[in-house]
Amino acid sequence: MNIFISCGEVSGDLYAGDFIREFLKIAPDCKIWGMLGRNAIESGGEAVWSYDELKLMGIFEIIPALPRIFKLKRAIVNEVIKKNPDAAILIDSPDFNLMLAHSLRKNGYNKKIISLVPPTVWAWRSGRVKNLKRDYDFCLPLFYFEHEYLITHGVKSLWCAHPLVHDMENLRTPDEFYERFGADKVIALMSGSRKYDINYHAEILLKTAEILREKNYRPVFSIARGLNSESANKLRELVKDFDIWENSGRDLMSGAEAVAGVSGTVAVEAMLLKKFMVVIYNMKKLTYWLLKKLVRVKKISIPNYLSGEPVYPELLCDRAAPENIVRELEKYLTNSDNQRAINLRLEKARALMGKDNAAEFWARSVKNEL
C-alpha cells in the first residue's frame, strides 16, 4: 500500500503525524510519503518536500510566492501521477490543497482523495463546497459542527472527536516547569509558529511582557518548535531579557495561570487545558477590511464559536495593544465571579469536542475506504 500526504502548517504536521502513527499500526507495510514536517517524519513518513514550503500567511505574503507555489504544485502532481498511490490525503492548507486536488483529478488521478481538516466553508468562502464534492471522496473534519455542515451540503464526512482530546487527556505539567518558574503568576506568551506571526505579533507581546513584569507577573515566551531557525533566532534575540520555553507549548500553558497569544490551534489547546487566553491577531488593515467583508462568523476563536458566548477576548489589529491584553488578563485573574462564568463556558465548549481517539478513527476510516 502507498499513501501520499500533503500538509503545510505546523498543526497540519501534527495531524499528519497522528494519522501516520495510527495507520502504520494497522498497515505496517504501507509507504507514506509527501510534503511533511518533523512530526510526520518521526511517525514514519518520508518527506519528499518540506512543509516549510507552504508556511505563509496573509494576502501580501502569499502573492509574491505564487510562482514558487505553482511550481511546487506541478512537481507534486507529476510525482503523484508517476507513483499512483492508493490514496492522497490532503491536510489543511486549503488554498493549496484544493488546487492540488483539482490538478490531480484533471491529470488523471482516479484513486481516493481525502481531505483531513477540510476548508472552513462554514465560516467563509462557502462556494468551496463544490470543490470538495467534485474532487474529494470524503472529509475528516475536526469539529462536529463542521461535520454537520458538510453532510447538509452533500459532502461525505466522517467524525468522532477532535484529535487534541486524546492527545492531551493525560498531559501533566513537567517538573522542569516548576523548577524554573515556580507555581505562581506565570503568564504564557504564545508568539505563533510562522514567520508571519513573529513579524506581526512579537513586538506586541514583548511590550505586554514588560507591563506584566512591572505588575509582578512572570511572563514566559514560548519558542514554537515549528518555527524556522531564522524566525526562532529573531524571537530569541527580541525576548532575551525574559524567560523562554523551548519545549512543548502545551507544557508551558498547562503550568501557567493564563495565556496570551496568536489566534490558532493554541486557543483550542488552552481550552482543553482549562486555561484562560487572550487571543490576538494583527494584520495589514486592507487584509482585515477584506476579511470583514468575506467572513460570515463574528468570532475567530474556536472556543468562542463552540460556546456560543464570549469565552476568550479577541483583540484584532489596533485593539491588539499591550495595555488591552494586560487589562483582559487581569479582568480574569483578579475577578472570581468573572472567572467562574468563563470557566463554565469553557466547560460547555470542551464538551463539544468528542471523546474518542480521532487519529485511530481516521486510520480505520481510510483503511476501510481503501
Pair 278, 259: CB distance under 8 Å:
yes
Round to the nearest angstrom and report the end-to-end CA distance of the chain: 9
Q: From the first residue on, what is the mean pLDDT of each consecutive set of 10 residues in the chain (370 residues)?
A: 93 94 98 96 97 66 79 97 98 94 98 96 87 98 95 97 93 96 94 89 97 98 90 95 96 98 94 97 66 62 89 93 98 96 94 94 97
pLDDT score for 342: 95
| CB of 111 closer than 8 Å to CB of 370 | no
CB-based contact 159:141 (threshold 8 Å): yes
Residue with cell 481550552: 271
Looking at residue 63, its pLDDT comes to: 72
Element (H, E) at 90: strand 87-91
| pTM score | 0.84
Which candidate, 146, 93, 139, places its Cα nearest to that of 113? 139
